[in-house]
Structure 1
Amino acid sequence: MTHDVAEPVRRAALPLRGEGDLDPLLERIGDSRFVLLGEASHGTSEYYTWRAALTRRLIEEKGFSFVAVEGDWPDCHRVNCSVTASPGAPEDPADVLRGFGRWPTWMWANEEVVEFTRWLRGHNLALPEDERVGFYGLDVYSLWDSLREALAYLREHSPDEVESALEAFHCLEPYAEDPQTYAEATWLVPATCEEPVVELLSRVRRVSVGTGRERDARFDAEQNARVAAGAEAYYRAMVRGGPDAWNLRDRHMADTLDRLVGHHEETARAPVRAVVWEHNTHIGDARFTNMAKGGMVNVGQLARERHGEDDVVLVGFGSHRGKVLAARAWDAPGRAVPLPSARPGSVEALLHDSDVGPAALFVFPPAQEQPEWLTEVRAHRAVGVVYRPAQDRMRNYVPTVLGRRYDAFCWFDRTGALTPLHEERADGAEDETWPFGE
């Protein structure tokens, strides 16, 4: 590392020791309505802890309306009911998080998320019911769970629609809740369950909407029906390969985020503002990576395009070495494994070799004012739920223009693994998504 390269990096680094050191990032966020917070892995404690610290400040000081995460809608809705103190919901969000069953459970069933959600419930209990901060899942995987939730809603609110709505469930029944089996079947035979699953959404939307909790229940049911439709399309695209499955998933997450904003705006007294927690590969603008050449879009790119760069702040996270919670294969148990020193020439190696300290915050200047180290293409590590340390330097890097992929970056030289709530159960069936299980 030459002095000429390291010096501008050190000048840009701001020490990150406590929550007060986030002030420059809060200033950069300003009045932006969308703050997307990343992670270089799904299994690193520091990423979750610092995202939570920043999110607490955004909620307390800037009135952010909800947190949306890379998680399943039905599971996260139960967390939402707990943190907003809905009638009948568990008082301790940990009781809900322990029930997360779809692999990899450690993404949300961990002590770091428990700490944040307990704080969020305590914060909400001091607020009027209609001002409480929600916690939602954006993802598309929960095909059968979402079908069950939508059907349960129709049974209670529109029994006459249930028999017809059951066609979607009967169509998918032969596949024993195995999405890969369903996807492979549609590849071999051009018959799908798309029509009855989409029709389920139509039937849910016919239910008259009320106010208050009735309105929220209808939104939940409609979102479950949308997830089921999105998941059915996703699994069909997945078996065909190419960028379509990735794009379906990220467009679904971006659409869900927009629907959540619209739902809150119908009753909000102040501008609706959202915090998003997802992997860097979802929140860092895909146009400034090699994903764009592969025909892929992502949530960060879509948010900027839909809402304008002034209203969207993208924050990446990364580290040089340590430990990470991950699995050696799809459906295998999660284990704390070594995170080796970053590949030479990578973003992570640059920050480590520049000696910016154990943790640092970078708030990037406007594109036209950025130094060369922010505008050049460098490899940037991405660790998924499936991770093999021995192959790290060969597989786990995404070519990136750091200063345009993100608006800010949180850096940790050495990181530790998440603390899961329970042992992993290998009962998931989703195939690995690009890149490496993100």
Structure 2
Amino acid sequence: MSAFRLRPTVERRDAESIREALDACATPLPSVYGATDEADAALEPLMDRIGDASFILLGEASHGTSEYYLWRRRITERLIRERGFDFVAVEGDWPDCMRVNRFVRDEIDGAPEEVLKTFRRWPTWMWANEEIAGLMTALREINADRPKRRRVGFYGLDVYSLWDSLARIREYLKEYAPESLGTAEDAFACFGSEFGDEQGYARRTRWVPDSCEQAVLDLLAKTREATLRDGEHAFDAVQNALAARHAEEYYRTMTSPGPESWNVRDRHMTETLARLLDRHSDPAPGGRRAKAIVWEHNTHIGDARATDMARAGMVNVGQLSRDRFGAGDCVLVGFGSRRGSVIAGRKWGGPMERMPLPEAREESWEDLMHEAFDGEDRLLIFPDDDETAAPLHDRRGHRAVGVVYRPESERGNYVPSDLAARYDAFVYVDRTHALRPLHEEPVGKPDDVPETYPSGV
């Protein structure tokens, strides 16, 4: 796809023509728990589609599904080993992911499970899980044979880390620029009793025009000034300052109606991705441009213009990446399933639970895939030509499960989507299983993990 363009609204197509179009662009996909050579062979059409692209965005239909993590790991390893990709950037917080980055780059020792204990903010299971521990081990092994400047990185793109990022900045200034420490203390003092309480700060700024925006902007300026004298830790310090600046804006706007807080978050993630690309690219004239792999939810990596998000004024990382880096250089890969189990919470901050994932809603994309593929897993590569792809541009429900989920009332968990415009490719797993968190045992019935797990991974 060379550029995104809106398709004209057409009559809703009949289910049979859509099933035929789905089957025509699909190839069999074995179990991700099986042999490595079978999985690698099945991924060849995706590797062909990726070609020389530099930005691969790998989605997921939920934050609590094992197969999505494991398929993304297989794709990621191949892109790094075979295509020279430079780093993985995920929907996680910068400070927490920096510790993972140091582990995979062989800068700190310890078991990956111990390193992942740094993820203490809810929902811990998103990154503190056995699937990510396996990825960390694989990346560290890859880096063992590389010079330091060419080691693969692991970074967090998200914007929730206001308090942790402020603490990291204060530590940095205390050690490297103590004369600027007062600016950090002013930022801490501004939040006062709301420090550590995002909801409390949001409520305060909603009713009283008294925000900490200027205090955080001053801290960003001081941090940038201080890092001019220090190259080793400068990038981390400035990124924490940027995360704090956009986190303050995010929390200040999250109680207001409209898309502003969502857009603050996705723009920050795209800006962070751009900074990482600059950092990993060769600065010499005509030097090599870095290559990035992004792991985020489908709602972030699937182009928002192909969904009803656009009507609400929302943008996302997939859309912004296509516009900023070039649609021809980006490959967006969605993921989905029809049924299974998932880790989630029934309310924000609530206990994580292992929940059933009900059968997909009738005539949703997942339901049509189940029928088209006779309940088998498939890899879909969407065609570029309008005539062949026309049935795949129908707008139908596409399931999106967040960290807060109630299986008994999931009807609202479907995003109307023009699937072939939203993604370039799609991984369909008919039945998925809940991932395995590290921090504590989730409430709920034990999952029926396939007997082959984790052989071949």
Would you call these one fold, judging by a TM-score over 0.5? yes
Deviations 1:53-99 (A, max 9, x none): 0000000000000000000000000100111012xx23333211123
Q: 1:216 to 1:22 in 2, by over 3 A?
A: farther
For residues 205 and 367 of structure 1, do their structure 2 counterparts lie closer, same or farther at Cα, with a shift above 3 Å needed? farther
| 2:452 paired residue number | none
Do the aligned residues in 2 keep the contact of 1:106 with 1:424 (CA within 8 Å)?
Answer: no
Aligned residue identity for 2:40: E
Give the TM-score normalised by the residue count of structure 2.
Answer: 0.89
- Distance change >3 Å, CA 215–CA 356, structure 1 → 2: farther
Pick from 424, 434, 443 the counterpart of residue 407 of structure 1.
424
* Amino acid aligned to 2:239: Q
Closer, same or farther: CA 159–406 of 1 in aligned 2, 3 Å: same
Secondary structure of 2:231's match? Answer: helix
Give the whole-Å Cα distance in 1 for the aligned partners of 2:106 and 2:345. Answer: 34
Relative distance call for 1:288 and 1:42 in structure 2 (3 A) is: same
What's the counterpart of residue 430 of structure 1?
none
Aligned to 2:353: 335
- Indicate how the Cα distance of structure 1 residues 371 and 208 shifts in structure 2: closer, same or farther if over 3 A, else same: closer
Distance 1:357 1:23 in 2: 22
Where 2:331 maps in the other structure, the secondary structure is: strand
Q: Which of 140, 148, 151 is 1:121 aligned to?
A: 140
Supply the distance in 2 between the matched residues of 1:78 and 1:399 (Cα, whole angstroms): 38
Offset of residue 151 of structure 1: 1.1
1:5: Cα distance to partner? 4.0
2:154 corresponds to 1:135: yes
Correspondences of 1:316-327 after superposition (within 5 Å): 316-327=334-345
Change (3 A) 1:4 1:201: closer
C-alpha deviations, 1:25-73, integer Å up to 9, x for none?
Answer: 1111111110000000000000000000000000000000000000000
> What's 1:428 paired with?
none
SS of equivalent residue, structure 2 residue 337: strand
C-alpha separation in 1, matches of 2:48 and 2:344: 34
CA-CA distance at 1:270 after TM superposition: 3.4
Counterpart amino acid of residue 77 in structure 2: R
1:226 maps to which residue?
242
Deviation at residue 335 of structure 1 after TM alignment: 1.1
Give the Cα separation in 1 of the matches to 2:160 and 2:16. 48
Name the % identity: 53
The match for 2:163 among 141, 144, 151 is 144
Secondary structure of the structure 1 residue equivalent to 2:360: coil
Q: Quick check: 2:169–2:184 contact (8 Å CA) kept in 1?
A: no
Q: Check whether the contact 1:333–1:423 (CA below 8 A) recurs between aligned residues.
A: no
Q: Which amino acid aligns with 1:294?
A: A
Q: Which runs of 5+ in 1 are unaligned?
A: 426-438
Query: Equivalent residue for 1:217?
Result: 233
**Equivalent-residue separation in structure 1 for 2:156 and 2:385 (angstroms):** 32
Q: Distance in 2 between matches of 1:134 and 1:197?
A: 28
Aligned to 1:355: 373
Provide the rounded CA distance (Å) in 2 between the counterparts of 1:307 and 1:377: 26
Spell out, residue by residue over 1:296-354, the C-alpha distance to the aligned partner (whole angstroms, 9 max, x if none). 00000000011111011000000000001111111111111100000011000110011
Q: Report the counterpart of residue 41 of structure 1 in structure 2.
A: 62
Is the aligned partner of 1:274 residue 2:287?
A: no
> How many residues align structurally?
420
Secondary structure, aligned partner of 1:98: helix
Match of 1:396 in 2: 413
> Amino acid of the residue matched to residue 8 of structure 1?
A
Show CA shifts across 1:260-308 (max 9, x none). Answer: 1111225686330000000000000000000000000000000001111
Which of the residues 252, 262, 271 maps onto 1:246? 262
CA RMSD of aligned residues (A): 1.7
Contact 2:282 2:289 in 1 (8 A): no
Match of 1:56 in 2: 77
Number of the residue aligned with 1:257: 273
Q: Return the TM-score normalized by structure 1.
A: 0.93
Distance 1:201 1:266, change over 3 A: farther
SS of the aligned residue for 2:132 comes to helix
Determine the structure 2 residue equivalent to 1:173: 192
Contact 2:112-2:133 at 8 Å conserved across structures:
yes
Return the alpha-carbon distance in structure 2 between the equivalents of residues 389 and 224 of structure 1. Answer: 36
